[in-house]
Structure 1
Amino acid sequence: MTTSTETTDVRAGLIGYGYAGKTFHAPMMLATRGLALAAVASSDPAKVGRDLPDVEVIADPQALIARDDIELVVIASPNASHAPLAATALAAGKHVVVDKPFTLNLAEARKVVALAEAQEQLLAVFHNRRWDSDFLGVRQAIQSGLLGRVTHFESHFDRFRPEVRQRWREGPGPGSGIWFDLGPHLIDQALQLFGLPQRVQADLAMQRSGALTDDWAHVVLDYGALRVILHAGMMVAGGSSRFVVHGEKGSLVKRKPDPQEAQLLSGMTPGSPGWGTDDDDMLFYDGSGDERRIAAPAGDQLSFYRGVADAVRGAAPNPVPPIEALTVMAVLEAAAESARDGRTVALPLTERERAALA
């Protein structure tokens, strides 16, 4: 990876302008100091043109990758294209950001990580939920010792979308389904807090009428005495909390999720006044029957792209090192295997990978 301390903006190209590209990547890239969104590769140039009239639109992702003026390629296309596009961009000498899930499987992830190492290029996966207000608040509470030794950690991404929509994420193809869509967020946050689990047990289901892929996921990570529950569903109209944590000194509940996705959908510019502000307090119970409110810190997913821009210029470490993204894929794959075979599964990581993570 380059160690230059240049102060010019990192010129970036975005591949894909679906939900992820339009809602998350483009607004954050445009709002990040030190980063310049130079071009977007999309099959819908009119859509990009309406939103980003000053940004060049290219039909062919390969043509964007081949441009000499593009230093960083951001891949927000359908999941099946992540690994091949990342490999092409790395081979062309570009730095790469890949939306989650990193790849379709662990084998693909290993190949892309190895190529990034060989090319000495930055490779980061968009695990933006590390900078959510709800997660930051729960992490602070755990690390402060407020809960004592944690024995139960429950993390939910629940939504109410009872009708199946016509989009690739809800179709029968590879990399579709709620576990590949929301599982990477849930997994990455758990690994950031607790490290590698000993074993994984999972159950995936199709609950909606006309469902073509899993739309309900319940995964248990075994940490010995600690159990971490990761859950996502599409038939939840209300009543479930984002986080529930129990420990030897008390319990913590965070009811509502981080507001940044909703703010982006409303058109708020990332980093503007009120960005990431969360008015939903965490609730702490110490066993005496009292309820104490604890303010949640503000979230700031812009930290990801600030970190990427600084890392490309050699001014900071990679905000999401490749080994961490690879480990998320190992848990994602182990859970899919567990659900398919009806058994608990150990993580398929090598000793070298475990050592690199440590």
Structure 2
Amino acid sequence: MQKIKTALLSYGMSGKVFHAPFIALHPGFELLGSWERTKKLIQEDYPSVTSYPSLESVLESDAELIIVNTPVGTHFEYAKKVLLAGKHAVVEKAFTTTLAEAKELTDLAKAKGLKLAVFQNRRWDSDFKTVQKILNENSLGEIVEAEFHFDRYNPLLSPKIHKETANFGAGILKDLGPHLIDQALFLFGMPKSVFADIRITREHSIVDDYIDILLLYSDKRVRLKAGFFVREPNPSFVLHGKKGSFLKPRGDVQEDELKLGKKPNLTTWGAEPKDKEGLLHTEKNGAIIREKIPTLQGNYYDYFDAVYQSITQNLPEPVTGQEGTNVMQIIEAAIQSNTEQKVITIG
């Protein structure tokens, strides 16, 4: 099997939890190491890899694929340098800070014949995969409305300075927003217009920490919500169609288990507890049914396998630069809508 030499640009929580374990598990990747600015931690987990002292040393290495998992405000600069160095790139969400940056990176990758994938791992969550299955089976009929939540209760400010200072990459819109927006666009495509309410609700916060985004389609409405004052969470996915409804709590276990240091596998990984099953209330074969639906397993390994296939077989990336650009278009429309207090048409 062809090995793709891979390096990270950070070994904080993102690198340690979401990237390195799956790169190490996949037989098609060789983890070379990570750029580490102060703390030198990657060799504690992977003794044979390199702790790179600078971005330039990573770019000069024989890495073929570089994971841009640094703070959002650096994504454009670093990803552009990666592509100009002739390397394939995976870029964390939010893809960039502006739509123009997203377009430039996508065009650059295409011009240089390189793969550019956005890390929208939540498409491989167990709960979202189950929602997708319900829609693909047409269990609800024509969708009339949907509501996606990413709820948390956390009134305290983050200790990560870049998340709580005023910069173009900070705030919940570019933190949790990209997950919700990407999932909605993946299921329903681009809307005709957007209306958004973006607020600050935490004491002493100077960055947005509440979003309510309404995507307007010709035949449906999709609402996306995230905030830090939801002690009793709503269902994370609510879908209503002309035949019935599906309600699904957030149940994916991968992030929590990765944070505990558990290593992913290809068999039992990503299995939700049974009490997180979704409720389907609809019409089936002429009868009304109301039943719990078994949850599909999630596994972020499948994202990395798709990256591997895209590079070795010249297939589309699992989440393309264009899809990342579409998310940024919605984010910019949401900002404009909140500022001008009006519906913004998507061109």
TM-score where L is the length of structure 1: 0.91
Classify the secondary structure of the residue corresponding to 2:175.
helix
Aligned equivalents of 1:240 and 1:59: distance in 2? 44
Per-residue displacement from partner, 1:253-307 (whole Å, max 9, x unpaired)? 0013311111211212122553110222110123898631110100111111111
| Structure 1 residues 189 and 331: CA distance shift in structure 2, 3 A | same
Select the residue among 275, 278, 292 that pairs with 1:282.
278
Does the 8 A contact of 2:152 with 2:233 survive in 1? no
The amino acid across from 1:335 in the alignment is A
Deviates more, 1:310-319 or 1:252-261: 310-319
Residue 251 of structure 2 corresponds to residue 254 of structure 1: no
Deviation at 1:339, TM superposition (A): 1.3
Deviations 1:325-347 (A, max 9, x none): 11111111111111122111122
Q: 2:106 is matched with which residue?
A: 113
Matches within 5 A, 1:194-205: 194-205=188-199
Specify which of 167, 181, 197 is matched with residue 187 of structure 1.
Answer: 181
Alpha-carbon distance between aligned partners in 1 of 2:43 and 2:112, rounded to the nearest angstrom: 34
Q: Provide the residue aligned with 1:311 in structure 2.
A: 310
Shift, 1:44, TM fit: 2.8
Q: Which digits, 9 at most, give the CA deviation of each residue in 1:101-154, with x for residues without a partner?
A: 111100001111111011101110101111111111111111211101111111
Q: Distance in 1 between matches of 2:30 and 2:309?
A: 13
Whether contact under 8 Å (1:45, 1:57) holds in the other structure is no
- TM-superposed CA distance for 1:222, in Å, is 0.2
Deviation per CA, 1:14-45, whole angstroms, max 9, x where unpaired? 00122222221122211222011102002134
Displacement of 1:166 in angstroms is 2.5
Q: Deviations over 1:43-76 (max 9, x none)?
A: 1343333333332101211220121x11001100
What SS class does the counterpart of residue 222 from structure 2 fall into?
A: strand
Aligned equivalent of 2:337: 338
Query: 2: distance between equivalents of 1:39 and 1:17?
Result: 9
Q: Is the 8 A contact 1:155 1:243 kept in 2?
A: yes
Q: 2:27 aligns with which of 21, 30, 33?
A: 33
Equivalent in the alignment of 1:84 = 77
CA distance, structure 2, for counterparts of residue 24 and residue 171 of structure 1:
24
Q: Is the 8 A contact 1:75 1:82 kept in 2?
A: yes
Distance in 1 between residues matched to 2:265 and 2:333, nearest whole Å: 37
Q: Distance in 1 between matches of 2:112 and 2:37?
A: 29
Alpha-carbon distance in structure 1 between the residues aligned to 2:220 and 2:198: 22
SS at match of 2:157: coil
Aligned equivalents of 2:140 and 2:226: distance in 1? Answer: 25
3-state SS of the aligned residue for 1:231? strand
Which residue pairs with 1:73 in the alignment?
66
Pairwise CA distance, 1:81? 0.9
Could you tell me which residue of structure 1 aligns to residue 231 of structure 2? 237
Partners of 2:195 and 2:48 lie apart in 1 by 48
* Corresponding residue for residue 137 of structure 2: 144
User: How far did 1:316 drift?
Assistant: 3.8
Structure 2: 5+ residue runs without aligned partners? Answer: none
Indicate if the aligned counterparts of 1:263 and 1:275 stay in contact, CA closer than 8 A: no
Does the residue aligned with 2:27 lie in a helix, a strand or coil? coil
1:63 is matched with 57
Q: CA deviation at 1:315?
A: 5.8
> For the aligned residues, what is the CA RMSD?
1.6
Q: Secondary structure at the match of 1:237?
A: coil
Percent of residue pairs bearing the same amino acid type: 35
Contact preservation (8 Å) 1:161, 1:234: yes
Q: Does residue 11 of the first structure (1) align with residue 9 of the second (2)?
A: no
Match of 1:134 in 2: 127
User: TM-score, structure 2 length as denominator?
Assistant: 0.94
1:287-306, aligned counterparts within 5 Å?
A: 291-306=290-305
Gaps of 5+ in 1: 1-6, 349-358
Whether 1:158 aligns to 2:158 is: no
Alignment partners' CA distance in 2, 1:340 and 1:19: 33
Letter in 2 for 1:213: V
1:224, distance to aligned residue in structure 2 (A): 2.0
Identify which range, 124-133 or 251-260, moves more after superposition: 251-260
Q: State the distance in 1 between where 2:277 and 2:72 align.
A: 35
